[in-house]
Amino acid sequence: MIKGIFISGTDTHVGKTMICGYLAGYMRRQGVNVITQKWVQTGCAFNSEDVAMHRKLGDLATEPELDPLVNPYCLPFPASPHIAAPMAGVNIESGVISGAYRQLAWRFDLVLIEGVGGVMVPLREDLLTVDLIARLGLVALVVVQNRLGCINHTLLTIEALQNRRVPVFGLIFNRIDEEGDERILQDNMQIVPTLSGINVLGEMPYLRDPMQGAAQFAPIGEKVLRRWRGE
């Protein structure tokens, strides 16, 4: 059974944190012993804001003793880790991240890892996020901001993952904006799987209040759960 799902985006600010929180909450309600993880959080001085949002959206228990494993690196400067880490006098070690993930995977049924931006974001100048995903044997769930231009971003993300033999678990489309041409938005969800062969697990509608999205996410959560169980 899959122990770790890496939740990446086609870009930054596409809704990864929201999707990760909703999915964790859905899996928890189905009896799965689940935890979320954020390898590197930037733009925060002490505690990961994204992990806090996961817990809030998913109604997850807080276990302070696990915080160093849940978020191994928290960096103040809001930028790619390869910039933010040296500014904080920190060297991001792949062994620290790998060890943290493996400890959580041993304790929990499922670890949901939220990435930093897209899969090609460098953790260091010599380490891309996607390479560590591959090294740990994770599968990738890609969050796509459904908008004009997302076809290119999504296909490139899929290609980067497949070139490193990272299985793509599926795609979740997400509407960040209230407006948009329906002809384009609907076609996005048809042409991407046609060209890539990757399944679309569903689309999240635009939400004025992200705290009210659990019901809309449930059909997507069910598909993820069934695939995770191998049904």
> So which residues are the catalytic ones?
38
| C-alpha torsion 120→123→129→134, nearest 10 | 140
Burial pattern 131-151, b for ≥16 Cβ within 10 A else e, equals bbbbebebbbbbbbbbbeebb
Q: Distance from CA of residue 180 to its chain's centroid?
A: 24
Q: Distance from CA of residue 154 to its chain's centroid?
A: 14
Q: Which two tokens stand for residue 89?
A: 């006098």
What does residue 110 show for φ and ψ, rounded to 5 degrees? Answer: -150, 135
